[in-house]
Amino acid sequence: MITDINIEPARHSFENLSSRPKKDAKQLNTIIETIYDQVARDGDRALKDLTQQFDNCTVKEIQVAENEINNAGKNVSDELKSAIRRAKSNIEKFHTAQLSNTIDVEITEGLRCMQKSVAIERVGIYIPGGTAPLFSTVLMLAIPASLAGCKEIILCSPPDQAGNINNVILWTAQLCGVTHIYKLGGAQAIAAMTLGTATVPRVAKIFGPGNQYVTAAKSFAQHYGVAMDMPAGPSELLVYADETCVPRYVAADLLSQAEHGIDSQVILVANDTKFVDAINIEIDKQLQELPRREIAKEALVNSKAVVLNEVVSAFDFINEYAPEHFIIASETPERYIDKIVNAGSVFLGNYCPESAGDYASGTNHTLPTDGWSKSYNGVNVDSFSRKITFQSIDKRGILDLGDTIITMAENENLQAHANAVKIRLMDLENKGV
């Protein structure tokens, strides 16, 4: 159960109630720097050595061979394949709707401005290893990358001790348009995609979740001109429950977040203490049945319930918290939509669990945590492209706008900026255009 219950907290305490546990990333930087240096110096040799050291695996070929990929599907059940295909179809449908058209505006006669979305040429996707294969993240990153039009989609994931990447990951990667797969995990995978080696090409942007080493290595990539999707922290869920919530469902949703890890953040905001009590009873009941109940229990220790009867106050708190996932447990969730300022992805109604969005509803599950939804959004098709602007000016256009540019440039003391216009105007006036 959630024991940290805050009833009608004062507004000045919202910031404190929203604070996440602080981590100090500085100590990791020395380790990460050493790994980058090793990869920069020894290339593929370093990657093999580090895989031996950290993954306890002797890799002969870093790149996954075509026949390994082609054979992967044999070991994936038809039921799972069909579920993944269904999820892919939903994710594709929603992300296709995100594709942007070229903007083309005639500002004045002879002056046009345009904005065109152009895919990042080569992107990197990191998929963590571990006991469970995170094939859902392959869907969430490779599908928008493909839709955006990225030419090369590189995927790195750590091999098991036998030197293999999980078959479901391989099968899903091929299904979603990944072009190159490498048996690489941890900071060395990120360093390889950042620096490039004989085998692994350098990418322009790196996406995907990972442990603290992977996260630190992604930040470090910026020193080498490689971007990342967003800053990362432990996964979070905030549920707002009003009088029409279903306590059993809310409890199940909170537990689905709590099972992620002991550092998961679970926040319940309700408009009455009695809903907190009802949900807590359900949490304890459902917890018994969970294989990962020890993890969930520990996560609940750090969790909070906040009771705020006024809707305005509740949403002031929620926006201050800025949750990654935000469930509105209500029969009429629509009436709250316009109050949401800061959130990653929002789940509307009593039949909309977070796990729907984690897997198959169509939205992306790579979302800003740790309050970053105040300034970042989740991964979408735009994350894999850039909006390049264009301006086209002809003789009429520069004759019309020239004086404006000259006046402004001269007032910023940039005479050469003014000259670039003057030299053209002079020619045109001499020609009597």
392 belongs to the binding site for a second copy (CB under 8 A): yes
Place of tokens 């894999």: 384
Contacts to a second copy from residues 238-267, by CB under 8 A: 248-249, 252-253, 255-256, 258-260
271 belongs to the binding site for a second copy (CB under 8 A): no
Contacts to a second copy from residues 203-242, by CB under 8 A: 204-205, 222, 225-227, 231
Candidates 50, 64, 84, 155; binder of a second copy (CB under 8 A) is 84
382 belongs to the binding site for a second copy (CB under 8 A): yes
Rounded Cα gap, residues 171 and 176, in angstroms: 9
Rounded to the nearest angstrom, the gap between the alpha carbon of residue 100 and the centroid of all alpha carbons in its chain is 19
324 belongs to the binding site for a second copy (CB under 8 A): no
Which residues belong to the active site?
324-325
312 belongs to the binding site for a second copy (CB under 8 A): no
| 3-state DSSP assignment of residue 155 | strand
413 belongs to the binding site for a second copy (CB under 8 A): yes
| Interface segment toward a second copy; rule CB under 8 A; list 183-191, 208-216, 272-280, 347-355 | 347-355
125 belongs to the binding site for a second copy (CB under 8 A): no
| Interface segment toward a second copy; rule CB under 8 A; list 1-9, 179-187, 300-308, 412-420 | 412-420
Contacts to a second copy from residues 142-171, by CB under 8 A: 168
280 belongs to the binding site for a second copy (CB under 8 A): no
First-residue to last-residue Cα distance in the chain:
80
Evaluate whether 36 touches 141 at the Cβ level (below 8 Å): no
180 belongs to the binding site for a second copy (CB under 8 A): no
**E runs forming strands in 48-109:** 103-108
Q: In terms of CB distance, is 49 or 262 closer to a second copy?
A: 262
Candidates 46, 87, 165, 267; binder of a second copy (CB under 8 A) is 87
Evaluate whether 82 touches 206 at the Cβ level (below 8 Å): no
Q: In terms of CB distance, is 52 or 108 closer to a second copy?
A: 108
| 3-state DSSP assignment of residue 302 | coil
Q: In terms of CB distance, is 213 or 347 closer to a second copy?
A: 347
* Sheet with 122-126, edge to edge strand ranges: 180-183, 152-157, 122-126, 205-207, 227-228
User: Shortest gap between Cβ of 61 and a second copy (angstroms)?
Assistant: 25
Residues 6 or more apart in contact with residue 309 via CB below 8 angstroms: 8, 271, 272
Write the CA distances from 361 to 9, 99, 133, 332, 392, integer angstroms: 35, 18, 20, 20, 42
